[in-house]
Structure 1
């Protein structure tokens, strides 16, 4: 069962104050600083009277809630588009890969496989 709350007509000043407060909260929560530490941003937005710029300044000085995000800010983006190394330490698999590459190169050298089909 849904109970409807009676609506209370407010003055223009009340509405402006409510809108101003909502804009302040939104500015804090949606800022890049607020996204770094959402829990602290929520506390500052909802439980303090700090203006948005002061809250964002404090959030910028606070450590990120996720240490990975903080490290990424310091190091920048890491391009991991290249092939990654295999650290499985499986000697048999490594040897089989060496043999596959060697046979592929040998087949190309002998002309049995075209160069563009060597990796197949």
Structure 2
């Protein structure tokens, strides 16, 4: 399913991000990982614009929770970099929160988080 998509031209609006399908295709080859990264990039861009996010995330409750936690922590980390810079203790603290969120997501969902800072 995801492997057939050309991620550069995907319009994610009103689409469903199915974490279960991603995990089942867990031979996360480069193409699937790129599609997942494109989803995250799209969602973060919507979050930064302050717009409604017209996407549904499907999976079990804990997977969806961990995904949203990680996505929110990813945005916060970027905000802290912009506000305080990379060398500030506040940024380091947020980076460690992001790392914990990523580990939880990967453990619970069984999917690698495609963004590494």
TM-score range, shorter chain: under 0.3
Q: What's the TM-score, normalizing by structure 1? A: 0.23
Q: Which has the higher contact order (CA 8 A, sep 6+)?
A: 2
Q: Select the structure that is richer in strand.
A: 2
Computing the radius of gyration over CA atoms, which structure comes out larger, 1 or 2?
1
With structure 2 as the length reference, what TM-score do the two structures score? 0.24
